[in-house]
Amino acid sequence: MEGPTEISSSKMFGGYNKRYRHFSATLGCSMTFYIYFPPASATQKVPVLYWLSGLTCSDENFIMKSGAQRALSNEGVALVAPDTSPRGLNIEGESESWDFGVGAGFYLNATQEKWKNWRMYDYIVDELPKVLSANFQQLDTSCASIFGHSMGGHGALTIYLKNPQRYKSVSAFAPIANPVNCAWGQKAFSNYLGSDKGHWEEYDATCLIKKCSGISTPILIDQGDEDKFLNDQLLPHKFEEACKSVNTKIVLRMQPGYDHSYFFISTFIDDHIKFHAGFLFK
């Protein structure tokens, strides 16, 4: 299989934002992803922090808007930002709504035939790390953490809870924390996964945490209290309650006055990178 092709490169805080394209056998289409290589990667292997973006986003939003590169450079951590769904497959209805289809892969493996290429879970957990390991010797893919925003926060939490041995830590900004009980999740899950709500729970952090044992690393979540999606779509307190019921440590920081935007993310991004660096270098 051909390796990734570099399509752009920009220097920032002594490191480089580099964008790549490759063909994904898992998704059946070409995919793009960004890597921020910190200065330390020029002379040694560095750990990897995966960022999963939210609804309507691509691999570009976080790299351009978050301002994360300064802290990544200081901590010596590489960041990998993949896209949020397959693109270019031209499935009927894939672009009819902003909260489903293109840009809304929900980091799951679809079971319905029409959406069989929507296998973002396998792409993030299995294929992408193999691509990185085979092509970027400066990345230590065996030492990785994961975080994300909104739909990507949902993805980060569920992927971590299903694979705690693969990641040193997890955090999220305004995650969709209980998707089986919100409109975004119900729309996505019913179309991608069918009518079996038991299957839906396999991609719901609030349901998954109740089945987990041995999660010793605290989970960090930042949530703006002026986020218009807080009470009907995100439901972080449901996840907090579930964590406490199984004695899993959660730090849910309600941030006064903040909304759902990248203004919110960029305000607290350094905290999250330092949080993950503490476990990646432990």
Respond yes or no: is residue 8 known to be catalytic: no
Contact predicate 176/184, CB 8 Å: yes
Q: Which residue has the tokens 């397959």?
A: 86
Respond yes or no: is residue 150 known to be catalytic: yes
Query: What is d(CA 268, CA 71) in angstroms, rounded to the nearest whole number?
Result: 11
Active-site residue (options: 154, 260, 272, 276): 260
Torsions phi, psi of 43, nearest 5? -125, -10
The candidate with the shortest Cα–Cα distance to 174, out of 154, 155, 150, 148, is 150
Active-site residue (options: 150, 154, 171, 276): 150
Contact predicate 115/189, CB 8 Å: no
Active-site residue (options: 59, 140, 222, 227): 227
Contact predicate 113/83, CB 8 Å: no
Contact predicate 100/44, CB 8 Å: no
Respond yes or no: is residue 149 known to be catalytic: no
The one-letter code for the residue type at 276 is: H
Catalytic residues: 150, 227, 260
